[in-house]
Every structure is written in structure tokens, then in C-alpha cells.
Structure 1
Amino acid sequence: MLKNLIPKLAGVENSQPQRHNRKKLWTIPFIIAITVTAILAILSLFTGVYDIRGQADGMEMFFITRVPRTIALMLTGAAMAMAGLVMQLITQNRLVEPTTTGTMEWSGLGLLFVYLLFPAPTLVLRMTGAIIFSFVGTMIFFVFLRKVKLRSSLVVPIIGMMLGAVISAFSTFIGLVFQVTQNIESWFVGSFSPVQIGRYEYLWIIILVTILIFIFADRLTLAGLGEDVATSLGVNYNRIILIGTGLISLAVGVVAAVIGNLPFLGLIVPNIVSMFRGDDLRSNLPWVCVLGMATIIVCDILSRIIIMPFEIPVSMILGTVGAVVFIAILLRQRRSKRRLR
């Protein structure tokens, strides 16, 4: 009798709620990823037309241009990849990121209005305008998604890109009417060539954004399960959505003001990470940051060596690679739906 009860009691004990075992971070693949990213950063430091080893002022130029550029690459890659990860989690859609929701276009509109109000705006003013407008634009997109029921996940990025196209056309019209288009021409083509000491330091704000996203990671993950589930688990859904949107807008606005438009980076990296690690924001965040850095460094190195001594804007390479990944994700989703049928 007692022998029969022991397994049952053990089964009862094992059925009690247990603490969730998170995936280990410091695994061999993650250490390899960090090592590869560090090697790419070193390559970036020594890639360029100017001969830093053969010129008298080589070391001075190294710290004025090469080091700031590499730091900017790493911070920007982490920021855009994180923004894509959070947006995909909140909208429950793999195809959403700042480019496919119109967030970047709203940032450009914010920059344009800053130039209209202030003829020679400082970088802080440009950042403020980009952050405010990107927040407003992202909230408009989220409100639209909540009000309209969509049958297909593919419709979500299509609507976002249509909204972005409308905002971009409006920005072009305003720029032509007030003759300020030339002031934001560099924004439309994201490039790291102008980065040097004194022109990238505000990107360090991204570290603060990363810390805040990590703090709110669990609540953002619950919000990604839907309003009903999040509310039943004690999460204030509307508040966490506002916080997530604010963090996204802060990261995108800083990048838009300092670097410019960088398409599809937030689409490529989070999808690759989620494909192998699932949808837990806290455990995926370090992976997304590291792979975002590696991706943009590779694209920037290619932009410097393809037609050396000239340079291709990194946004062109990102746009090409991102478009291919976007199509691949669509085809993958289509195949999975066919299998389910």
C-alpha cells in the first residue's frame, strides 16, 4: 500500500509549479558570436582608404574617425535590432520593424519640422524632433492595429509600409515647398562616413535603452501574449505598451538623427534569433544585440571595400539584404501554412 502511494505522492510534488528555467546565456555559441563580433570590430578599425600606419597623423586620425565609427556601428546595430525585437513582440508579427511600420519615416518628418522651426538646429534638437515624431507615428500604427481586425499577418507590414510611403511623400512635399529638402538629404541615405569625434556621442543613450528594455523584458514578453492574457497575469497592458513604444522611439530617434535611415536591420536579426531560441525577450536580448552589431559591421565593411576608394551607403547594402530576408520569411510562412492545411 505504501509502495503504491509513494509514486503518486512524488507525482503530486512534481506537478507543483516550479520556477521557469531560463536558457543559459554563456554557452559556447554565444561566446563564439561575441568573439566573431570582436574580430569584425577590429577589422572595421583597420579598414579604410586613409593609411593610418603610413602617415604622420595616422594614430590621431585613427582615434578621430575609425574608433568613433566602429563604436557607432556597434551601438546602432544593437539599437535597431532591439527595436525590431520589441516591435515584433508587441505586435505578435515577425514582419514588423521600424522600416515596415513607418517609424523611420515619421522620424524623418520630425527632423524636417525641426529644420522648419530652427534654421540651424543642434543635434539635440534634431534628436528631440525625431524621437517625438517616431513615438507619435508608432502609437498611431499600434492604435490602428488594435481597431482593425486583420485576417493575415502579411497585411500588417503592408499597411505599415503604405503609411510610411504617405509620410515620406508628405515630407518630400513640405521639403520642396519650404526648400529645406537639401538639409535632410543625408538622412534618406544612412551612412557612417560622417561619424567622428563630436558627432556620435549621443548614441551612448542606446546603452540606457538596452538596460531599460532588459528591466521590462518579462512584462513586454507578457504583453506580447495579448491584452487579455497580460491583464489576467497582472500586467497593465496599456502602460507597458506605452513604455515599449517610448523605448523604441528613443532608440530609433537617436539613430535617425545621428546616422540616418537604416532599413530592415530590425527585421533580419530578431527573426534569425527567434528561429533558434524562441520568443523570450530577456534571454534573446543579448543575442539580438550581438548579432545586430555583427550584421551592420559586415555591411559597413563591404560598403567601404566594394568600390574603394569610394564608399557605398550602408543603407543600400542593408536594404538589399533585408529585402531578400523579407521575401524568404514570406515564403517560409507560406510553406508552413500549406503544411498545416
Structure 2
Amino acid sequence: MRKHAIAGAGQDAQLHYSKQSKIWTKSFILAIFVVSILAVISLFTGVYDIRGQEDGWEMFFITRVPRTIALILTGAAMAMAGLVMQLITQNRFVEPTTTGTIEWAGLGLLLVYLLVPAPSLVLRMSGAILFSFIGTMIFFLFLRRVRLRSSLIVPIIGLMLGAVISSVSTFLGLFFQMSQVVENWFVGSFTSVQVGRYEYLWIIVIVTILIFIYANKLTLAGLGEDISTSLGVNYNGLILLANALIAVAVGVVAAVIGNLPFLGLIVPNIVSLFRGDDLRTNLPWVCVIGMGTIMVSDIISRTIIMPFEVPVSLILGTMGAVVFIVILLRQRKTRRVS
């Protein structure tokens, strides 16, 4: 009787895993459909009357289409970066905003402006990617030296590092009279997106493919150095690869759009709440929900005080702060019950 019970439990677990491992489910198709509707709403949301003006449809393809594509790619990039960072640090509160990665990208942009007058987008993007990688590696070096790795200590370390780097950027901006660069970067917005100014965001597609290819190994790396090494995985090499992919995604977004806080915190936590922590099966969900989240935020930013526009970073920051508090309270309640 006991053997039958164990076998039945094993079959139930296997059936549950097979359901979770499927990507093209009805719920996922529904999520794609909802995001598609949001994309259509985004295309036709704005002050400029594209149907009532002679050059309306020309402006539609110059500004509206690039903006919607940029929203889709950016949402996927930042949500995906948060997912990978949470996996390899084994911490729900880690994402580019809470590790200082975003602030390092801003410092890289500022230094490029100081060294090269009127730098091209490629130079700005290169500086942001390089400093994002450096900042993420410094965060991991700090993390290795911290013995107490509670769920709150890790993001506190990241926030402290980010605050220091942000102060350095502010000081350099004021000292060299480049504070406008810092201010423009801090206010993440899609208002300047148009044809010729967003195409480098397509690099995010390559990053997504690489993360999907290495998904199983990155999942093993998320188990910790000892376990992953015993399973034959090059832990240090995977950490370098993960940091490089995160740096590319964050750097490209920082150079083209600016600071987009908490997106990498909101989405992976919502997905993990319902689907667990498997990177390969969660990645499509995280990308799709990331797209939907940022499109909702952008639509709100364009309509809340129309004809004016609120920076999308303000909407994301507000939503992210609320979700952050909810996760904290939920985790505290779980600990009390246990």
C-alpha cells in the first residue's frame, strides 16, 4: 500500500512538472493576446492626431511603431535581467536597480560624455555596457565576502553600492557642468524614440537567445557553487557569462531609454509565484509579462495628464515600490507561519 502511495505521489509530481514545463499553454497564448492588444493601444495612443493630419501615417511609422517596438524589447530585457540575477544570487529582491547595475551604467554614460564631446549612440552604449559589467562583478565580489546572506542583506548591499555610484555621478556632473546628462538618464522615458534611435535594442533578441541556450546551466549555477561544481558545471565561467549578458541588456537600455527601476523585480517575482524557478520555462513568461507591464506603464504615462507626458520611470518606480513592500510583508508572514 505504501509503495502504491509513493508511486502515485511520484506520478503526480511528474505530471505537475510536465504541465509546468510546457510553454505553449492556453494561459500563455492568452498572455500573448493581451500583450498584442496593449501593443495596438500603444500604437494609437498619443496627442498627435495621426488620422486627422496629412503626415499622420508617416509620423505613425516614424514615432509610434518604433516606440512600441522599443517598449516590447525593453520590457523583455529588464525583466529577463532581473530573472537571471535573482536566479544566480538565490534572492528574490535582486535586480539591476537593487544591485547598483543601473547606477554603474549611468556612470559609464557620463564618463563617455566627459571624454568624447557629442558621442554617438554606439559609444554611449559601449560605456554603459562596460560599466554595467564592472558594477555587477563588484556586487558579486562583495556578495562572496558576506557571510550572512539573508534576503534583505543582499539588496541592501546593492542599494548602498548604487547610492555611492550615484553620488559619484552627481558630483562629476556638477563639477564638469554635465548635470543635464545625469538628469536626462535618471528620467527614463520613451519620448525620444523614433526611427534611427532605437535599432540597437534589437541586440536584446540575441541576449534572449543566448540566455535560453544556457538556461539549464544557469539554473544549475543558481544552486550554488558547491552543488553546480559537483555536477560538472563551470560555476565561475557561468557567472561571468550571466553578468556579461545582464550588462549588455542593461547597458543598451540605459543608453537608448534611460533608468527603468524595479521592472526586473516585479515581473520575475510574479512569474515565480505561479510557476516556480525553472529558467527555461519561465523565460518566455517573464519576457511577455515584462512587455505587458512596461506597455501598461507607458500608456498610463501618456494619458494620466494628457497632453503632457509623465516619465515612465515614475510609474514603474511607484509600482515597483508597492510590489517590493508586498513581497517583504508576504515573506515576513511566511516566516511567522513556519
Please confirm whether the aligned pair reaches a TM-score higher than 0.5, indicating the same fold: yes
1:35-57 CA distances to partner (integer Å, 9 max, x unpaired)?
A: 00000000000000000000000
1:141-191 CA distances to partner (integer Å, 9 max, x unpaired)?
A: 011111111252111111111110110001000111111122342111000
The match for 1:317 is 315
Q: Distance in 2 between matches of 1:123 and 1:94?
A: 33
The match for 1:76 is 74
CA contact (8 A) 2:169 2:182 kept: no
The match for 1:3 is none
SS class of match (1:191): coil
Rg (Cα) greater in structure: 1
The match for 2:281 is 283
Q: Aligned partner of 2:337: which letter?
A: R
The match for 1:25 is 23
The aligned runs of 1:83-162 (5 Å cut-off) are 83-162=81-160
Q: Aligned partner of 1:68: which letter?
A: P
Q: Distance in 1 between matches of 2:248 and 2:209?
A: 13
The match for 1:274 is 272
Q: Structure 2 vs 1, CA of residues 229 and 65 (structure 1 numbering), >3 Å: closer, same or farther?
A: same
Counting aligned pairs with the same residue, the percent is: 76
- The answer to whether structure 1 residue 339 and structure 2 residue 333 are counterparts is no
The aligned runs of 1:196-207 (5 Å cut-off) are 196-207=194-205
1:111-159 CA distances to partner (integer Å, 9 max, x unpaired)?
A: 0110111011000000000000000000000111111112521111111
Q: Distance in 2 between matches of 1:181 and 1:199?
A: 22
Q: Distance in 1 between matches of 2:78 and 2:28?
A: 20
Q: Aligned partner of 2:301: which letter?
A: S
Q: Distance in 1 between matches of 2:198 and 2:85?
A: 25
Deviation, 1:277, is 0.3
RMSD: 1.7
Q: Distance in 1 between matches of 2:55 and 2:46?
A: 15
The match for 2:162 is 164
The list of structure 1 runs, each at least 4 consecutive aligned residues, that deviate by more than 6 angstroms after superposition, is none
Select 1:243's aligned residue among 221, 241, 244: 241
Q: Distance in 2 between matches of 1:150 and 1:213?
A: 29
The match for 1:177 is 175
Q: Distance in 2 between matches of 1:178 and 1:192?
A: 27
- Structure 2: 5+ residue stretches without partners: none
Deviation, 1:257, is 0.2
Q: Aligned partner of 2:40: which letter?
A: I
Q: Aligned partner of 1:187: which letter?
A: W
CA contact (8 A) 2:107 2:165 kept: yes
Q: Distance in 2 between matches of 1:271 and 1:76?
A: 18
CA contact (8 A) 2:170 2:182 kept: no
* Number of residues of Structure 1 aligned to a counterpart in Structure 2: 328
Return the TM-score normalized by structure 1. 0.94
Q: Which sits farther off after the overlay, 176-185 or 205-214?
A: 176-185
